Amino acid sequence: MLKVTRINHSAIGTRAELAAMQHFYVDVLGINTVERDIPAKLADKIPGFWMQFPNGQVHVIQSDPA
């Protein structure tokens, strides 16, 4: 049986207001963000932000931009 030793990243898809989510995670909880490592063409089409944790990242992606 395989044993999971770490997670590189995971993603949260949301249809909610992205700015409010980012405010909560970054300003209220104090989680650090990192630059999204994706081509500019995609960054404009897929709004989101990436949070950095000691053992990996969580990517928040707006799946249905308003």
Domains of the chain by start residue, with CATH: 9-62 (3.10.180.10)
pLDDT of residue 59: 94
The sheet carrying 48-53 orders its strands as 9-14, 56-62, 48-53, 32-34
Whether 50 and 2 have beta carbons less than 8 Å apart is answered as: no
pLDDT value at residue 66: 54
What is the model's pLDDT at position 30? 95
- What is the predicted pLDDT for the residue at 15? 84
Check residue 49 and give its pLDDT.
95
SS3 51: strand
* Mean pLDDT per 10-residue segment, the chain (66 residues): 81 88 95 93 90 91 74
Tokens coding 24: 């909560």
What pLDDT score does 65 carry? Answer: 54
- For the chain, strand residue ranges (E) read 9-14, 32-34, 48-53, 56-62
